[in-house]
């Protein structure tokens, strides 16, 4: 039987391998050996969320027509360092809002062409419970120890970030925050603008896929247990068996209900639903994608990743998929507690 440490190493080596191949070929890896640290209690909040005022602006074309300049990155607080890298709480601008982020920078001198960089998109964590310095630490450490500059955006309304936490699926707000994170990390000293990759888990996988059909600056992506179905699939084929919706805030409604009331069902109005689905634009994907998913994931169906892999290959794009029999949303069934 594979023990937790071996499984973790195997999975993370696959992740590093793709990003290293695309971003820093021949770079060796020394991977952290601890379990994935996420909070998926109520993961995805997959029914609850606000609908942005003009739902037509959910479309991929609307996002492509937007402007995402980011900003210079400001160091807000210096944290205890990692084994061979510096750690900071940083901030940047998105839609005029101050967005906080975890930033790590290698101690070693940059390569001749600059450090490769990772934009790391976290999954659902209740915004009021979110803290910049918690969760996913083993994963960010793995990249940071191996010579990457890493930025993990908090998204608006999370932790100390300004703005309102709108949810991901009825609003492009979080996607926009990550588009601005990419622009901001490009401005960071000694980052190679041609070697930027993206990693996303769960909700962060949804954000990663949308970014990669919009932004050519992202050269490779890795998605774990991603919400990567089309919107018709999210409407028709995504009802978590273990999901108990939290009480809605006053005046709030569910994005599925609001969208179907305004635009009809996917069967009634396929053009609208296809226009807001990243899956309709895979021919424009900015780089290879690697997908990881546990077959016993009760939060996001493994079928979403399997279908995306087929869709990418059908349009001639590079895709790899790794499925883990019996494993869960964190791909963590066999992980030991660190």
Q: What are the C-alpha distances in Å from 311 to residues 203, 285, 289, 319?
A: 20, 11, 12, 9
Instruction: Give the C-alpha separation, 288 to 317, whole Å.
Output: 7
Could you tell me which of 256, 224, 253 has the C-alpha nearest to residue 237? 256
Q: What is the arrangement of strands in the sheet containing 289-294, beginning at the earlier edge strand?
A: 74-78, 85-94, 97-106, 149-153, 115-121, 191-201, 218-224, 289-294, 319-324
In the chain, what percentage of residues exceed pLDDT 90? 73
Between residues 239 and 29, the one the model is more confident about: 239
Set out the domains of the chain in order of their start, with CATH numbers.
4-324 (3.40.50.1820)
294-337 residue pLDDT tens: 999 999 999 999 999 999 999 999 999 999 999 999 987 744 32
**pTM, entire model:** 0.86
Instruction: Give the C-alpha separation, 212 to 179, whole Å.
Output: 10
Pairing of β 115-121 and β 97-106: unpaired
Cα-only R_g, the chain: 19
Residue linked to tokens 């990692």: 82
162-195 residue pLDDT tens: 999 989 999 999 999 999 999 999 999 999 999 9
Between residues 29 and 206, the one the model is more confident about: 206
Between residues 188 and 338, the one the model is more confident about: 188
C-alpha of 123 from chain center: 7
């Amino acid at each position: 039987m594979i023990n937790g440490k071996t499984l973790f190493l195997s999975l993370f080596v696959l992740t590093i391998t793709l990003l290293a191949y695309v971003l820093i070929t021949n770079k060796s890896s020394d991977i952290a050996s601890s379990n994935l640290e996420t909070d998926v209690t109520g993961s995805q909040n997959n029914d609850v969320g606000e609908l942005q005022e003009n739902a037509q602006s959910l479309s991929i074309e609307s996002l492509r027509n937007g402007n995402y300049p980011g900003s210079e990155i400001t160091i807000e607080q210096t944290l205890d360092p990692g084994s061979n890298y510096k750690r900071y709480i940083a901030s940047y601008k998105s839609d005029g809002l101050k967005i906080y982020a975890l930033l790590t920078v290698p101690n070693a001198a940059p390569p001749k062409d600059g450090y490769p960089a990772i934009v790391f998109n976290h999954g659902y964590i209740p915004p009021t419970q979110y803290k910049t310095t918690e969760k996913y630490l083993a994963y960010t450490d793995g990249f940071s120890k191996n010579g990457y500059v890493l930025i993990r955006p908090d998204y608006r309304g999370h932790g100390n970030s300004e703005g309102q936490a709108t949810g991901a699926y009825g609003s492009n707000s979080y996607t926009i925050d990550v588009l601005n994170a990419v622009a901001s990390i490009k401005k960071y000293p000694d980052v190679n603008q041609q070697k930027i990759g993206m990693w996303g888990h769960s909700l962060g996988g949804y954000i990663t896929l949308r970014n990669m059909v919009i932004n050519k600056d992202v050269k490779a992506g890795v998605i774990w247990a991603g919400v990567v179905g089309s919107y018709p699939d999210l409407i028709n084929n995504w009802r978590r068996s273990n999901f108990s919706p939290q009480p809605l805030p006053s005046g709030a409604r569910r994005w599925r209900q609001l969208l179907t009331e305004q635009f009809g069902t996917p069967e009634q109005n396929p053009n609208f639903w296809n226009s807001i689905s990243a899956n309709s634009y895979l021919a424009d994907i900015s780089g290879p994608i690697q997908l990881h998913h546990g077959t016993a994931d009760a939060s996001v169906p493994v079928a979403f990743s399997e279908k995306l892999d087929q869709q990418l290959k059908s349009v001639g794009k590079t895709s790899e998929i790794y499925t883990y029999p019996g494993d869960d949303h964190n791909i963590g069934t066999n992980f030991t507690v660190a």
